[in-house]
Amino acid sequence: MKVDKELIKRVAENSRLNLTEYEINEFLPQLKEVLENFELIQKAPTKDLEPSFQPLEIKNITREDKIEKTLSQEDALKNTKHKQNGYFKGPKAI
């Protein structure tokens, strides 16, 4: 797999990050080195093993579908500057 500036730019765009040219140049050799280290796991003998998405077996916990106390509108909005008429205000969608 080729790790180059184009790949970093593509991944950054997917991650909603604008990287400067300086950051891209700095990250390129670092990410190459880390990804080379990640390659080590390809040699691990995992035939017939199931993936462990959690370290312990965990059963789904579902709750009853009933109304419970939740955050008030005021509390939900108190940490943002972007609000209007009791709603979050966002950037233009179109």
What is the token pair recorded at 50? 């199931």
51 sits near other proteins (criterion: CB under 8 A): yes
Name the CA dihedral angle for 26, 27, 28, 31, rounded to a multiple of 10 degrees. 150
> CA–CA separation, 62 vs 60, rounded Å?
6
Q: CB-wise, 55 or 86, nearer to other proteins?
A: 55
Tell me which residues touch other proteins (CB under 8 A). Answer: 1, 7-8, 11-12, 14-19, 23, 26-27, 30-31, 33-35, 37-42, 44-46, 49-56, 58-61, 63, 71, 75-76, 78-82, 88-94
